[in-house]
Amino acid sequence: MSKVGGRRFDILVVGGGPAGMAAAACAAEHGQRVGIIDDNAALGGQIWRGQSEPAASKWAERLRSSGVTVLCGRVFQQPEPCTLLAEGENILHELRYEKLILATGARERLLPFPGWTLPNVMGAGGLQAMVKSGFPIRGKRVVVAGTGPLLLAVAAYLQKHGAEIPIICEQASWSRLARFSMALLGHPGKIVQALQLKRELASARFSANSWPVAASGEGRVEKVTISQTGKIETFPCDYLACGFHLVPNVELPLLLGCQIQNGYVQVDDFQRTTVTDVFCAGEPTGIGGVESSLVEGEIAGLTAAGRIAEASSFFGRRGKLRRFARSRDRTFRLRPELHSLPAPETIVCRCEDVRYSHLREHKSWRAAKLQTRCGMGPCQGRICGPAAQFLFKWNPDSVRPPIFPVRVESMAGVSAPANLELTTGGRE
């Protein structure tokens, strides 16, 4: 039986990745009582998971010395204004705040194709996360596929840990990639990054205009068939790391009533959403990567702490990074050929095993949900939703609590205010 823990903050930050860490540190450094909550025990989000990146350590130190309270839990409901509920392992957090900064990050977009449900077919970031969590990849053969800069970063990481990478398949065309390389010229830091990656991946084959058409094997993936500009080639492998760029985690902003535009949270120059005293920073406002997330976090944290002039000093840098991010998005946009990836019997909703042919019969996400149960499983449509949106152009539903599956007792368990212990400081 869980206990209930009540906390009150001037500023609550949801999400412990780069944007959240920057926002929390900046706000706390200016005297605000700040709490940050993430569903991982360690901060850093996805991109700074595990290893000690210099930037990550710097921000972690700033967080520590500014006295930010770090909490571990999954936010799932807003029972009343200025309060959020989060479920921890043995605790229900009731978190009260004056201002809220949402830094909920992004997740990989996964597209269905024949064989994608076989064990050892994972997201690109997914396999990297597994290796960071202790999975031995040395000596294993991994095909990397999909789209986006994440592919190269993942391939380099896996190779560094002893994996054999026969091929990296990028669906974008060579001309798009060439145009993108030109865009790198405006960002010297990124050129260095790119050259470093090139050196690390010198032995790997990189193929544009390429995507997986099928994964096959007995009980797990054993080979992947790739289409490269129409030419078919098959690669034996132990793992397929396949992800199609990122989609923003906008469930919590939606739950709180923030306006969403083109799938991203609408914010003003100061990272304010359309809901009073609710800010949003990082990937949910537009997929931008680490530097962009940090800058947006700094702006949000400083603004929430009342330091408007300091916040606006970052606008120029943010503008430059946003332009770069937009050009990156254009480069890695999904091409229409990917609409024909799934076969009729390919499972699209993995929680409920709903096949493509079954979904195709319906005219809207809601109709498909009600009739097939697609999106009604524990992932709450986080995996199948973006796929269905790409395949059918369906708009997703509105969001209801709980925005993550939680124990029944967590939804039942809010005690009367008199019974809450209000505490500050420390770590849980």
> Residue 409, interface with another protein (CB under 8 A)?
yes
What is the contact mask toward another protein in residues 333 to 372, using x (rule: CB under 8 A)? --------------x--xxxx---------xx-xx--xx-
Q: Interaction with another protein in 295-334: which residues (CB under 8 A)? A: none
CB 244 within 8 A of CB 154: no
> Residue 418, interface with another protein (CB under 8 A)?
no
Q: Measured from the CB atom, is 209 or 293 closer to another protein? A: 293
CB 147 within 8 A of CB 169: no
> Residue 77, interface with another protein (CB under 8 A)?
yes
Tokens 């609408």 appear where?
266
Q: Measured from the CB atom, is 164 or 353 closer to another protein? A: 353
> Residue 107, interface with another protein (CB under 8 A)?
yes
> Residue 130, interface with another protein (CB under 8 A)?
yes
> Residue 247, interface with another protein (CB under 8 A)?
no
Candidates 82, 194, 334, 376; binder of another protein (CB under 8 A) is 376
CB 348 within 8 A of CB 388: yes
Residue range at the interface with another protein (CB under 8 A); choices 59-67, 114-122, 202-210, 308-316: 114-122
Name the DSSP letter for residue 337.
G
Candidates 66, 117, 225, 274; binder of another protein (CB under 8 A) is 117
Candidates 312, 379, 389, 428; binder of another protein (CB under 8 A) is 379
Question: How far apart (Å, rounded) are the C-alpha atoms in residues 12 and 8?
Answer: 9
Cβ 165 to another protein shortest distance, Å: 18
> Residue 412, interface with another protein (CB under 8 A)?
yes
Name the DSSP letter for residue 26.
H
- Tell me the number of residues near another protein by CB under 8 A: 59
Bridge partners (DSSP) of residue 231 are 228
Regarding beta strands 3-14 and 91-102, do their DSSP bridges make them parallel or antiparallel, or are they unpaired? parallel
**Dihedrals phi, psi of 52, to nearest 5 degrees:** -95, 95
Q: Measured from the CB atom, is 26 or 158 closer to another protein? A: 158
Burial class (CB in 10 A: 0-12, 13-18, 19+), 166: middle
Candidates 378, 393, 418, 421; binder of another protein (CB under 8 A) is 378
Candidates 42, 395, 407, 424; binder of another protein (CB under 8 A) is 407
Q: Measured from the CB atom, is 27 or 155 closer to another protein? A: 155
Candidates 122, 145, 250, 299; binder of another protein (CB under 8 A) is 122
**Which long-range contacts does 155-162 make (Cβ < 8 Å, 24+ apart)?**
155/201, 155/204, 155/241, 156/197, 156/200, 156/201, 157/128, 157/131, 158/127, 158/128, 158/131, 158/241, 159/200, 159/201, 159/203, 159/204, 160/200, 161/131, 161/137, 162/137, 162/138
> Residue 121, interface with another protein (CB under 8 A)?
yes
The closest of 301, 305, 263 to 280, measured between CA atoms, is: 301
CB 235 within 8 A of CB 167: yes
> Residue 79, interface with another protein (CB under 8 A)?
yes
Q: Interaction with another protein in 217-236: which residues (CB under 8 A)? A: 219-220
Q: Can you tell me whether residue 317 is helix, strand or coil?
A: helix
What is the contact mask toward another protein in residues 381 to 400, using x (rule: CB under 8 A)? -xx----------------x
Cβ 383 to another protein shortest distance, Å: 5
Cβ 243 to another protein shortest distance, Å: 9
Question: How far apart (Å, rounded) are the C-alpha atoms in residues 226 and 169?
Answer: 8
Cβ 418 to another protein shortest distance, Å: 15
Cβ 20 to another protein shortest distance, Å: 15
> Residue 39, interface with another protein (CB under 8 A)?
yes
Kindly provide the residue ranges of all beta strands, DSSP E only, lying in 58-129, ordered along the sequence: 69-72, 74-77, 83-87, 91-102, 106-108, 121-122
Cβ 169 to another protein shortest distance, Å: 18
Which residues lie closer than 8 Å to 316 by C-beta, 6 or more apart? Answer: none
Regarding beta strands 69-72 and 74-77, do their DSSP bridges make them parallel or antiparallel, or are they unpaired? unpaired
Q: What are the start-end ranges of the H helices in 249-333? A: 251-255, 290-304, 308-312, 315-331
Candidates 52, 408, 419, 421; binder of another protein (CB under 8 A) is 408
CB 124 within 8 A of CB 102: no
> Residue 123, interface with another protein (CB under 8 A)?
yes
Instruction: Give me the residues that bind another protein (CB under 8 A), please.
Output: 1, 39-40, 46, 77, 79-80, 107-108, 110, 117, 119-123, 125-130, 133-136, 219-220, 347, 350-353, 363-364, 366-367, 370-371, 376-380, 382-383, 400-402, 405-414
